[in-house]
Amino acid sequence: MKAVKLTGRNQLELVEVEAPVPDGENVVIKVSACGICGSDLHYWHAGKGMGGVPDLIMGHEFAGIVVNPGNREDLAEGDRVTALPLDPCGLCAACRAGHVNICLKALKRTIPGNNSPGGFSEFLKIRPDMVRKLPDSINDVEAAMVEPAAVALHAIRAAGIRPGDTVMISGGGPIGLLCAAWAKISGASYLAFTEINAFRKDFASQLKVADDILDPASPEFSQAIKKIKGGFDVVIETSAADAAINLALMILKPKGCLILAGINAHTQAVLTIMAAAREITQKSVMAYLPEEFDTAMEYIAQKRVDVENW
């Protein structure tokens, strides 16, 4: 089968590789759509996958058609599906506590598109209990958005947003946009983006997912922030930039909540005195729980989270 393989820093090659063989357990899927995640860009720049895996076939946001249902008696050849690219061990302390998204043995497990073959290929084989049958109301492109929508939902739930809260989303990329959608559903009374990229500012404006889109580099930024009397209840930080994290600490209300949803592999300079002086709650988030993946799929199917234009 054809696949796109990561062969070095900033290098992708279209190659021929062996197609996955049915084994009576795992589900074999013919890929029909696959997204490009921020982590894929990290791997592309590094030239290696999670844990330094070479020659990775990336892609973990996908939709496809069942070629072989493995041991899933409720699936049949031709069914449209997506899947959670997770492989929790079920035995470690995190898994036993129900936190399968942070399985302590994740780096030693097979995570499709991260350290094992993923969706940048014609076919892939996936753990059967992670496969989800798609509702007819979701097309292939929307289905490839379920996974990032679940990432954003997990972040918003960690924030505990309540009706009437003021929320800032730091970073107007895909995860930031999805966080905004979930924040509005959760009852945020006012929602703003901070974003410096002109394309992303324009795109977010067209989608109308926020009340305001603010540029921290703009001379008008300080005045715009002052209008939010007392500061924000919650900031969802998706950029993983030092300046954005420090800005979040400065614009949060005392006892506010900062969700660190962005990922940076480097040591960062953060003004911890700002967090301490206001007793800011900081939470880090990773991926999602299976129930959140299912909820994201349900909301997309009902068009309550409309991702097709994204």
Q: Any residues with CB less than 8 A from the CB of 277 and at least 6 apart, and which?
A: none
Torsion angle of the four alpha carbons 92, 95, 99, 100, in this order, in degrees rounded to the nearest 10: 110
Give the CATH number for residue 261: 3.40.50.720
DSSP conformational letter for 51: G
Catalytic residue (one of 42, 116, 154, 222): 42
Q: Is residue 306 part of a domain?
A: no
Compute the distance between CA of residue 86 and CA of residue 128 in angstroms, rounded to an integer. 11
Tell me: do 6 and 104 sit in the same domain: yes
Tell me: do 179 and 135 sit in the same domain: no
Q: Is residue 300 part of a domain?
A: no
Catalytic residue (one of 32, 39, 205, 222): 39
Give the CATH number for residue 73: 3.90.180.10
pLDDT of residue 228: 80
The answer for 160, left when phi > 0, alpha when psi is -120 to 50, beta otherwise, is left
Q: Any residues with CB less than 8 A from the CB of 201 and at least 6 apart, and which?
A: 172, 193, 195, 213, 215
Query: Pick from 144, 159, 185: which residue ends a domain?
Result: 144
Tell me: do 179 and 122 sit in the same domain: no
Task: Choose between 292 and 219: higher pLDDT.
Answer: 292
Tell how strand 252-260 and strand 281-284 pair up: parallel
Tell me: do 178 and 86 sit in the same domain: no
99 among known catalytic residues = no
42 among known catalytic residues = yes
Q: For the chain, what is the domain count?
A: 2
Q: Is residue 171 part of a domain?
A: yes
For the chain, the C-alpha Rg in angstroms (whole number) is 20
pTM for this predicted structure? 0.95
Tell me: do 156 and 273 sit in the same domain: yes
What residue numbers bound the domain in which 93 lies? 2-144
Tell me: do 191 and 163 sit in the same domain: yes
DSSP state string for 176-239: HHHHHHHHHHTT-SEEEEE---HHHHHHHHHHT-SSEEE-TTSTTHHHHHHTSTT-EEEEEE-S
| The two three-digit tokens of residue 190, written as one number | 């006012």
Query: Pick from 144, 159, 187: which residue ends a domain?
Result: 144
Per-residue pLDDT of 93-110, as tens digits, reads: 999 999 999 999 998 999
Tell me: do 140 and 157 sit in the same domain: no
pLDDT band at 36 (very low <50, low <70, confident <90, very high): very high
Q: Is residue 139 part of a domain?
A: yes
Per-residue pLDDT of 9-23, as tens digits, reads: 999 999 999 999 999
pLDDT of residue 218: 87
Closest CA to 250 of 292, 208, 222, 217: 222
Closest CA to 2 of 21, 15, 20: 15
